[in-house]
């Protein structure tokens, strides 16, 4: 089996325009949650979301963005950052040996909603001819290939909130099993549209806005939590076979060592201790690690009443007494829930923890829930010397669970 290393990361999130600003903003407790500045927001019970606020559309020539939904634009920008950092040029033969593994929950939600409004409400003669190629879920995947001339296999994963964690895990598996040498893996999501937000609101999973401090409305593991805040963004990793990275003198950021994936097979929305535990155990087994070697977990931690309790129980069932020793962060409190992109975003955060040895806080956790009684780092960012192994959990509607483990690279 080949070893798999990370040589590039990129992220465009509500916290900022690159991966470094995401990690830095989390550690200082900056919240990307704010009222959306759009006229239709009045039709929603809560105006809160976590939008990307740096310029996006203007970074593409007009002719190029004619075929790019916002999700593809976010995906391309995050990917560009990761590939630039890796130093790889896939226009060369390396592009033949590189795969694209991309996750998204909804694909081009903005394009689809616009087409529906034009066709069904405004009775336009027809939607734009590029509607299909902009909203199809593999649009970002294809555009990443076009932009960078990546010509190996490509896959698009859509498993709700675990989509991009699955993408990274499957890319890891493909390199590990010698199918390809390089991979661009991650995911994007841009679903802050009126119809999609109203549908989420109807599902009763969105956080109640705090009247005085709306930016603190998402409170994972807090007794008074009420759900999550929808966010948008994208994150990408460049994964590479270790020997290849070393041979070209690449800056190796971390090593991916474990991936677990399981299906609850119980309920379409209710999470399951058994399913989550199986994914964590699989990842540990593949990594050849004992539970006591995990030093940090980026929790799925959405801030729903049920979800946070189930994840706490699952962590306890896997880690036993060690569970109380692990600093666990639920960073969705600050960057929002980026749905199909969130697994990749949180993996970028976990890799930032490896780099800095600083664990970000679970923000807004002021009133601990007795049923959520682990160390969620509520006090603020915490420095942890000799932190070398991290886990990131992503659990999706539909019952898919994806868990990734990375460690500090040692030749």
Active site residue ranges:
161, 300, 337
269 lies in the binding site for another protein (CB under 8 A): no
Place of tokens 């759009």: 38
DSSP 8-state symbol, 339 = G
Stretch that binds another protein, among 22-30, 32-40, 56-64, 82-90 (CB under 8 A): 56-64
Among 2, 34, 59, 128, binds another protein (CB under 8 A): 128
Among 37, 45, 66, 292, binds another protein (CB under 8 A): 66
129 lies in the binding site for another protein (CB under 8 A): yes
Q: Give CA–CA dist 259/167, Å, rounded.
A: 11
Stretch that binds another protein, among 29-37, 38-46, 124-132, 184-192 (CB under 8 A): 124-132
CA angle 268, 106, 36 (to 5 degrees): 105
123 lies in the binding site for another protein (CB under 8 A): no
Task: Confirm if 150 and 90 have CB atoms less than 8 A apart.
Answer: yes
Task: Confirm if 83 and 237 have CB atoms less than 8 A apart.
Answer: no
Q: Tokens at residue 381, please? A: 């960012």
67 lies in the binding site for another protein (CB under 8 A): yes
Q: Give CA–CA dist 172/371, Å, rounded.
A: 35
Residue among 66 and 366 whose Cβ is closer to another protein = 66
Among 1, 123, 126, 411, binds another protein (CB under 8 A): 126
Find the shortest distance in angstroms from Cβ 379 to another protein. 50
Q: Give CA–CA dist 55/397, Å, rounded.
A: 31
Task: Confirm if 263 and 298 have CB atoms less than 8 A apart.
Answer: no
Read out DSSP for 146-200? HHHT--S-EEEE--GGGHHHHHHHHHHHHHHTTS-SEEEEEEEE---SHHHHHHH
Find the shortest distance in angstroms from Cβ 135 to another protein. 14
Q: Tokens at residue 150, please? A: 């990546």
Find the shortest distance in angstroms from Cβ 63 to another protein. 5
Residue among 73 and 216 whose Cβ is closer to another protein = 73
Compute, in degrees rounded to 10, the torsion defined by CA atoms 100, 104, 108, 113.
170
Q: Give CA–CA dist 200/44, Å, rounded.
A: 10
130 lies in the binding site for another protein (CB under 8 A): yes
Find the shortest distance in angstroms from Cβ 130 to another protein. 6
Find the shortest distance in angstroms from Cβ 129 to another protein. 5
Stretch that binds another protein, among 7-15, 91-99, 125-133, 215-223 (CB under 8 A): 125-133
Can you give the binding site for another protein, defined by CB under 8 A? 61-63, 66-67, 125-126, 128-130, 133
């Amino acid at each position: 089996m080949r070893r798999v290393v990370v040589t590039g990361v990129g992220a465009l999130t509500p916290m900022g325009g690159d991966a470094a600003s995401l990690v830095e903003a989390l550690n200082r407790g900056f919240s990307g949650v704010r009222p959306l500045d759009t006229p239709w927001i009045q039709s929603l019970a809560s105006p809160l979301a976590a939008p990307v606020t740096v310029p996006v559309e203007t970074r593409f020539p007009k002719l190029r963005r004619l075929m790019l939904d916002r999700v593809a634009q976010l995906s391309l920008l995050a990917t560009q950052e990761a590939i630039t950092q890796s130093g790889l040029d896939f226009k060369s033969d390396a592009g033949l040996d590189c795969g694209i593994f991309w996750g998204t929950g909804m694909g081009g939600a903005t394009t689809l909603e616009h087409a529906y409004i034009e066709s069904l409400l405004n009775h336009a003669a027809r939607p734009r001819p590029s509607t299909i190629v902009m909203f199809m879920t593999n649009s970002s995947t294809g555009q990443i290939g076009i932009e960078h001339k990546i010509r190996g296999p490509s896959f698009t994963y859509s498993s709700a909130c675990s989509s991009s964690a699955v993408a990274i895990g499957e890319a890891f598996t493909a390199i590990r099993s010698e199918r390809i040498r390089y991979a661009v893996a991650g995911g994007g999501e841009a679903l802050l549209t009126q119809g999609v937000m109203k549908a989420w609101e109807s599902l009763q999973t969105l956080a109640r806005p705090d009247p005085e401090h709306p930016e603190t409305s998402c409170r994972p593991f807090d007794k008074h939590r009420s759900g999550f805040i929808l966010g948008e963004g994208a994150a990408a990793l460049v994964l590479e076979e270790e020997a290849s990275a070393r041979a070209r003198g690449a800056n190796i950021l971390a090593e991916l060592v474990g991936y677990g994936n399981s299906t609850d097979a119980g309920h379409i929305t209710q999470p399951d201790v058994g399913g989550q535990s199986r994914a964590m155990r699989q990842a540990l087994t593949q990594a050849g690690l004992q539970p006591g070697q995990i030093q940090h977990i980026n929790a799925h931690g959405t801030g729903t009443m049920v979800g946070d309790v189930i994840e706490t129980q699952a962590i306890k069932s896997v880690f036993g007494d060690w569970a109380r020793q692990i600093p666990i962060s639920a960073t969705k409190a600050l960057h929002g829930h980026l749905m199909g992109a969130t697994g990749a975003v949180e993996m970028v955060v976990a890799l930032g923890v490896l780099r800095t040895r600083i664990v970000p806080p679970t923000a807004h956790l002021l009133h601990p829930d007795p049923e959520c009684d682990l160390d969620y780092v509520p006090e603020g960012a915490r420095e942890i010397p000799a932190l070398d192994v991290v886990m990131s959990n992503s659990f999706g509607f539909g019952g898919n669970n994806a868990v990734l483990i990375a460690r500090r690279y040692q030749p």
